[in-house]
A and B are shown apart, each in its own frame.
Chain A
């Protein structure tokens, strides 16, 4: 039983480049969440997706950030024209979504983005 997989685990980009983070949810899970954790801070919600739909993107900056969860393949979080302030750990979590209020999210190992 594979858990949530994220790649790459570490990503180094120079300012102005693009960062593309991938997340494969637990098999059978159709709900994906992305969170960002800045150093010494808690995790902050960014976006919630179901297959082919963005359900809630209220935590995602309106510029430079986008997310998708296509019918086939992993969920992608894309950051264009990265800046130093984007350096953080980005965690993906998945959930089946059909088991009620106490259903829990399972987290991937995260992608640590460093912008030079």
Chain B
């Protein structure tokens, strides 16, 4: 079983739609969680950190469920510019090395 698993997609949604991604992780001792966004042939860029209490940044909401070992990302009112690959990241204890999921591709259609 992979340490971090994501549905690769692609998720094709119309502009204005709400879309949600889940990501599961296998190590119950994982401590930090993030969503990064990666555009084609570019570097990953931090979208948001994921806190136990959940957090929201504009149209984006992230949730963490430690009991079920998954994190989620909700995007409301999708824009064309949201088209990208969304990477789920979990860090191991101690070294903070990132363990990436393979990413979920989102295409927002006009």
Give A contacts to B, CB under 8 Å.
31, 33, 35, 41-45, 48, 55-56, 59, 89, 91, 93, 95, 97, 101-110, 112
Contacts and interface: CB of A to CB of B under 8 A. Distances in A.
Interface in B24-42: 31-32, 34, 41-42
Nearest to B49: A102
Given A56-B95, A101-B31, A109 B43 contact: yes
Interface stretch (B10-18, B68-76, B100-108): B100-108
Contacts of B41: 89, 112
Query: For the complex, would chain B's binding face be called helix, strand, loop or mixed by DSSP majority?
Result: loop
Contacts, number: 54
Contacts of B46: 104, 106
Nearest to A95: B96
Contacts of A45: 97-99
A59 B3 CA distance: 14
29 contacts: A31-B96, A33-B97, A35-B98, A35-B100, A42-B87, A42-B100, A42-B101, A45-B97, A45-B99, A48-B95, A48-B96, A48-B97, A56-B95, A89-B41, A91-B44, A93-B98, A101-B31, A101-B32, A102-B32, A102-B49, A103-B96, A104-B34, A105-B98, A107-B44, A107-B45, A108-B43, A109-B42, A110-B43, A112-B41
B102 A55 contact: no
A93 B98 CA distance: 10
A26 B52 CA distance: 29
Contacts of A48: 95-97
9 closest A-B pairs by beta carbon, nearest first, are A42-B102, A107-B43, A42-B100, A43-B100, A45-B97, A56-B95, A101-B32, A104-B46, A107-B44
Q: Which of B43, B44, B95 has the most CB of A within 10 A?
A: B43
